[in-house]
Amino acid sequence: MQLDDLYRQVIMDHYQHPRNQGEIGADALTVDLRNPSCGDEIRLQLQVADGVVCDARFRGAGCSISISSASMMTEAIKGKPLAEALALAQAFRAMMRGEAVDVEQLGELEALQGVSKFPARIKCATLAWQALENAASLAGLEHEHGG
Ligand code: FES
């Protein structure tokens, strides 16, 4: 099987069977984001305790790239310290810029590497990651204000 076909299969699997879909609850960190280029929206919720992402869920409508990216992202960050989740976001963004990245670190997310060649679709792939970064800054603000 060609690598491209394998990548396509991974993307379609996450699109058709998204992991971690739904909502956590009112007390979770919640970020609503809209992709300005198409109007598609995502809601990301994180449960963070002691700096660790205990749960991550999303809801939204979008193209196969945005949904599979959100699905893989939630899979990748669950159980990780928030700082590590943010480092992963940096690595993912670097991959979208076409930079050489440690694919070991990215795991399945490597399947989205080809998106970097289609500038119009990069926003689709990074939507969920932007939501993660926004959620992390909410967590930071809460911390600054003493929770
Ligand atoms: Fe809307 Fe990709 S086309 S998120």
pLDDT for 25: 93
CATH 3.90.1010.10 fits 3-138, yes or no: yes
Interval between CA 124 and ligand 1 midpoint (Å): 5
Which of 35, 41, 71, 73 maximizes ligand 1 atoms within 8 Å of its Cβ, making it the mutation to test the pocket?
35
d(CA 33, CA 124): 11
Interval between CA 40 and ligand 1 midpoint (Å): 6
Interval between CA 49 and ligand 1 midpoint (Å): 31
d(CA 112, CA 92): 9
Give the 3-state DSSP-derived string for 87-117, with helices as H, strands as E and coil as C.
Answer: HHHHHHHHHHCCCCCCHHHHHHHHHHHHHHH
pLDDT tens across 85-131, in order? 999 999 999 999 999 999 899 999 999 999 999 999 999 999 999 99
d(CA 68, CA 65): 5
More confident residue, 142 or 10: 10
d(CA 23, CA 41): 14
- What does pTM read for this prediction? 0.93
Q: Where in the chain are the domains?
A: 3-138
